[in-house]
Amino acid sequence: MDVRELWEFERAHGAHTYEPLDIILTRGEGVWVYDTEGRKYLDALSAYSALNQGHCHPRLVNAMIEQAKKLALTSRAFQNDQYPLFLYRLTRLTGFDAALPMNSGVEAVETALKLARKWAYVVKQVPLDQAEVIVAENNFHGRTITAISASTEEHYRKYFGPFTPGFVTVPYGDANALEAAITPHTAAVLLEPIQGEAGVNVPPAGYLQTVRTLCERHNVLLITDEIQTGLGRTGKLFAFQHESIRPDIVTIGKALGGGMYPVSAILADRALMDLFVPGEHGSTFGGNPLAAAVAIEALNVLVDEGLIERSAELGEYALGKLRRLSSPLVKEVRGKGLLIGIELMPQAGGARHYCELLKERGLLCKETHENVIRFAPPLVIERETLDWALDQIISVLEA
């Protein structure tokens, strides 16, 4: 079968859970990807920020190959020599005492929620099975039953109930509403520092600082979901650092595996992490030697190549250039670092049309929440390449 026949086979025999652009990719290098006909595109989605280090980074490819030759998987029933090295690198870089690795981002969220609930019952003395977690409207923490139970997106929820109880929803960015929702049963507040899937929604300045203060005042844990915003995407190692706070639990993933392997984790200090005891939580693949080796090198690349600093510098430059865009189609440009959302006016007819036009120009973006173009290229992008990409966006929206 040729590639088009294979694509039709996929449509006939695969689940229709995505609606991709009409393009079939076959290889990638750095910020560039190539389709089956040899055409070249700049990847400005980065697999939802999983590719901060770019496609097929040579150091990551080498780390994966070398470790796969030796030992790829062993149960956590036995020790392996890469897992402690991973913990050492991750905790030294992030400043947290301990980490617990999983695989996907939503697994990290589930892990954080379990830890917060146990803390509520064992430490805060909330009556058993009555703990509550406050979440924000329009959040995205994944698509498991528990994650969508915390969601307000009807498309994610319809037909999938009954839902996991224990979530209280408040408007994003409204600290007063959040404080009003806190009760003696509140275990934690779970927030994205920037809501990526909702359209790159940036909260008001000082919001996270206020939330941190409220959590301390009311004896509530603060969990920040940094799966998309963490590891350099917003110009800091973590997006919460823009407001100089420190959460109790942080969830990370995506770029932790460098686009090579699914790796996620939660970060917390020792007293909190030690609430978990053997048998309460685990994962067959979490912390396996291959994942650990790849994640170590993914973190090393971020630091060694100055990708966090590059995201800050180029993100400020890109936002400045896009905010000077003169088009009646554009309602707002927002973001931090190289996580940028371009919200279009309703009369523009939806963002997908413009993503399709950009694809024809060799730039791959993704619409989110119908009217927002999400622009998030790999952090390895060069200034000259970034200029070319921004020029394509400006040309399409000003045409």
Q: So which residues are the catalytic ones?
A: 140, 225, 254
Distance separating alpha carbons of residues 389 and 387, to the nearest angstrom: 5
- Helix-then-strand count for the chain, H and E: 14, 15
Cβ proximity of 163 and 149 under 8 Å: yes
Can you list the alpha helix ranges (DSSP code H) found in 218-329?
270-273, 289-304, 307-323
Cβ proximity of 81 and 281 under 8 Å: no
3-class secondary structure, 394:
helix
Give me the DSSP letters along 319-331: HHHHHT---TTEE
Cβ proximity of 273 and 115 under 8 Å: yes
Give the contacts of 364 (CB within 8 A, at least 6 positions apart): 21, 23, 33, 41, 42, 43, 44, 45, 355, 358
